[in-house]
A and B are shown apart, each in its own frame.
Chain A
Amino acid sequence: MAYPYNPPDYFGIDELLSDEHKIVRSSIRDYVTRSIVPIIDQAAQQHTFPSHIIKELGALGVFGPFIPETYGGAGLDHISYGLIMAELERGDSGIRSVASVQTSLVMYPIFAFGSEEQKQRFLPRLATGELIGCFGLTEPNHGSDPGSMETTLREEGDHYVLNGAKMWITNSTIADIAIVWAKDEKGVVRGLIAEKDTPGFSASETHSKWSLRASVTGELVFDQVKIPKEYVFPDIRGLKEPLMCLNSARYGIAWGAIGAAADCYNTALQYAQERLQFGRPLASFQLQQKKLAEMVTEITQAQLLVWRLGVLRNEGRATPAQISMAKRNNVQMALQVARESRQVLGAMGITGDFPVMRHMMNLESVITYEGTHDIHLLITGADITGINAFE
């Protein structure tokens, strides 16, 4: 069962949002209540991505909300993007991941680094969900050190040839196109768009996951894949640009995690007020109050952190290190809230009747992908000391 969703706003953060932000939030919240909450447990239990929602998400405009209207986006600001991610993740991290990847890892690089022809060709159809994209950076042997990637891009006459494999790719088998990062003959990282129907391009799904069960994760394999020259990003040389994509995604995750946390807290609070033990509500016991009070405190801090980060990002001033700190802090917070909420619910917490265990298992992925928990700490460490500990 799902309780009515009343996320906490302990410090009146709503007052920091514009009317437009609130409309964005309520639209996505209504959609999630209507179309995600009723189906998500079954989808996760059956390890199935509910693919019918892609067109709905496209019509709603959650793909590329900050991309300009001329390319099919909505032209909204980054706080709106964050609110959308939080509301989607209230439904499920897997659903939010689909929108994150489409927006930050596929549409954003095409918009930021693509040629005008690439933008016109792909962005409007990605915005509606007619096309789905994925992002290939991580490899089987290279996760936190993408600079060591082995995938290659070789120039051969009027085209390039792509060889290699990418791992842990959200949307792998449902994607029509992939944004792929590969090294050229000089060992320089290049970015390109690969279409799935190209000979030599294959995708598979990773089965038996205990996390993000309602979204597709898998592998991409490139075996002598011919890439037209006009599908390569013209001016990309190095890792800076793919990391810019990750910054955009990590920013959305910092917001998104709050949605999962708020759903868990909302569930735990209402359950604790209803459930009687020893003739009293669970919520009347000090140890349960401690859990709930700490949860709302942590969620409030996370809300303030992303609101400020959103203001900075709107002004073009949010640094990668700030985004890393927010992603790390908020995902860890959400995972802790999910675990504590699971305890408040007792045995009921492990069932699919409540969303808590599903969020908890999802967040075990979220804390690792888009830069692991440890790597983000080292990014902060490098930023404050000036010494990079992982190169």
Chain B
Amino acid sequence: MKILVCISNVPDTTTRIKLSGDQNAIDLSSVQWIINPWDELALTRALELKEASGGSISSVSIIHVGNAGSDATLRKALAIGADDAIRVDAAPTDAYAVAHEIAEAIKDKNYDMILCGIESSDYNGSAMGGMLAEFLNMESVSSVSKLEIEGDELKLNREIAGGFEVVSATAPVVVIVQKGIALEPRIPSMRGIMMARKKPLEVVAATGAEALTEFVHYTPPQPKAACKMIDADNPAELVNLLHNEAKII
């Protein structure tokens, strides 16, 4: 079995996002980039499955659509333990274009299982995995928070309202994963970082898939209002403020 994990390159979640002057672009000048947290968990689970497979999972590969600036993120994924990487050399404009580029890059590579994070922590589109499955004409299962391999079958827990459901699937399949798929993302070891130097990172030309959407402008959230402290011995004042000032009761 060959596993592919789709990797998105996103700003560190502690980054303070600044917008350009005209509010239709994000100022990326001081952004630290990381592996999308959901993708990092997907990669961690893929590696756990490979290690427990007794050799039946032969490789865990990663793929990414992005420019050369993403290579550090891909090297980190290789340091975590992926065997090889593919980077489609194009800016990731929207989910449709990314899914199309990935599908074209891997259509002849016969991956048995493709793991995608349910969303990316930058734009939260949640569309790429499903689109990729459609382009590849593969089945897909979404919101997966547990993934086990039992013989030729995959056992998957899907998060649904009020609980989860267990479904089974057979390869080839696209599995779109939720938090819980792995306990914690793996941290690369120093030896893993050295080994990543020698692992293949193949850069392939993009097919030029066009985005179906474009960003018009961004609006930052309202700044938080100052916190008003009320003495614990004065509940009447709290009620008064909630009623007359906040007008929520």
- Chain A residues with CB under 8 Å of chain B are 4-6, 19-20, 22-24, 26-27, 30-31, 34, 59-62, 65, 69, 74-76, 80, 84, 276
Which one, A4, A80, A276, contacts B190 given CB within 8 A? A80
Interface of B (DSSP majority class): helix
The answer to whether A20 and B193 touch across the interface, beta carbons within 8 angstroms, is: yes
Closest to A4 in B: B14
- Contact indicator per residue, chain B 133-155, by CB within 8 Å of chain A (1) or not (0): 00000000000000000000000
Interface size on B, residues (CB 8 A): 19
The answer to whether A23 and B193 touch across the interface, beta carbons within 8 angstroms, is: yes
Given contacts A4-B14, A30-B187, contact A24 B75 (CB under 8 A): no
**B window 172-220: CB within 8 A of A:** 184, 187-194, 196-197
The answer to whether B75 and A61 touch across the interface, beta carbons within 8 angstroms, is: no
Beyond contacts A19-B71, A62-B190: 7 other A-B pairs, Cβ-Cβ < 8 A, are A23-B72, A23-B196, A24-B190, A27-B190, A34-B184, A60-B190, A61-B189
Cα distance, A69 to B197, chains bound together (Å): 13
B30 to chain A, nearest CB (A): 8
Chain A residues whose CB sits within 8 angstroms of the CB of B241 once the complex forms = none
Closest to B69 in A: A19
The answer to whether A24 and B34 touch across the interface, beta carbons within 8 angstroms, is: no
Given contacts A27-B188, A59-B189, A61-B189, contact A75 B79 (CB under 8 A): no
Given contacts A26-B34, A34-B184, contact A84 B190 (CB under 8 A): yes
The answer to whether A23 and B187 touch across the interface, beta carbons within 8 angstroms, is: no
Cα distance, A20 to B74, chains bound together (Å): 11
The answer to whether A23 and B79 touch across the interface, beta carbons within 8 angstroms, is: yes
Which one, B34, B75, B184, B189, contacts A20 given CB within 8 A? B75
Cα distance, A154 to B156, chains bound together (Å): 68
- Chain B residues with CB under 8 Å of chain A are 14, 34, 71-72, 75-76, 79, 184, 187-194, 196-197, 226
B40 to chain A, nearest CB (A): 10
Interface of A (DSSP majority class): helix
The answer to whether B191 and A23 touch across the interface, beta carbons within 8 angstroms, is: no
Closest to A61 in B: B190
The answer to whether B71 and A27 touch across the interface, beta carbons within 8 angstroms, is: no
Among B75, B76, B193, chain A packs the most CB atoms within 10 A around the CB of: B193
Chain A residues whose CB sits within 8 angstroms of the CB of B194 once the complex forms = 69, 74-76
Which one, A4, A22, A60, A65, contacts B187 given CB within 8 A? A60
Cα distance, A60 to B196, chains bound together (Å): 15
Chain A residues whose CB sits within 8 angstroms of the CB of B72 once the complex forms = 19, 22-23
Chain B residues whose CB sits within 8 angstroms of the CB of A34 once the complex forms = 184, 187
Cα distance, A24 to B193, chains bound together (Å): 7
Chain A residues whose CB sits within 8 angstroms of the CB of B197 once the complex forms = 20
Chain B residues whose CB sits within 8 angstroms of the CB of A27 once the complex forms = 76, 79, 187-190, 193
B43 to chain A, nearest CB (A): 14
Chain A residues whose CB sits within 8 angstroms of the CB of B190 once the complex forms = 24, 27, 60-62, 65, 74, 76, 80, 84
Q: What are 20 A-B contacts defined by CB distance under 8 Å?
A: A4-B14, A19-B71, A20-B75, A20-B197, A23-B76, A23-B193, A24-B190, A26-B34, A27-B188, A27-B193, A34-B184, A59-B189, A60-B187, A60-B190, A61-B190, A61-B193, A62-B190, A74-B190, A76-B194, A80-B190
Chain A residues whose CB sits within 8 angstroms of the CB of B14 once the complex forms = 4-6
A153 to chain B, nearest CB (A): 35
Cα distance, A221 to B34, chains bound together (Å): 49
The answer to whether A26 and B76 touch across the interface, beta carbons within 8 angstroms, is: yes
B214 to chain A, nearest CB (A): 30
Chain A residues whose CB sits within 8 angstroms of the CB of B75 once the complex forms = 19-20, 23
Chain B residues whose CB sits within 8 angstroms of the CB of A74 once the complex forms = 189-191, 193-194
Closest to B30 in A: A9
The answer to whether A61 and B184 touch across the interface, beta carbons within 8 angstroms, is: no
B15 to chain A, nearest CB (A): 9
A129 to chain B, nearest CB (A): 12
B224 to chain A, nearest CB (A): 11
The answer to whether B191 and A61 touch across the interface, beta carbons within 8 angstroms, is: yes
Chain A residues whose CB sits within 8 angstroms of the CB of B184 once the complex forms = 34
Cα distance, A75 to B191, chains bound together (Å): 8
Cα distance, A20 to B14, chains bound together (Å): 21
Chain A residues whose CB sits within 8 angstroms of the CB of B226 once the complex forms = 276
Closest to B77 in A: A23
Chain B residues whose CB sits within 8 angstroms of the CB of A76 once the complex forms = 190, 193-194
A322 to chain B, nearest CB (A): 25
Chain B residues whose CB sits within 8 angstroms of the CB of A22 once the complex forms = 72
Cα distance, A80 to B191, chains bound together (Å): 12
Chain B residues whose CB sits within 8 angstroms of the CB of A276 once the complex forms = 226
Cα distance, A4 to B75, chains bound together (Å): 25
Among B14, B72, B75, B191, chain A packs the most CB atoms within 10 A around the CB of: B191
Chain A residues whose CB sits within 8 angstroms of the CB of B79 once the complex forms = 23, 27
Cα distance, A62 to B191, chains bound together (Å): 9
Cα distance, A4 to B13, chains bound together (Å): 10
Closest to B229 in A: A276
Which one, A6, A23, A75, contacts B188 given CB within 8 A? A23
A27 to chain B, nearest CB (A): 5
B42 to chain A, nearest CB (A): 17
Cα distance, A317 to B192, chains bound together (Å): 28
Cα distance, A45 to B79, chains bound together (Å): 36
Cα distance, A163 to B196, chains bound together (Å): 47
Cα distance, A191 to B125, chains bound together (Å): 62
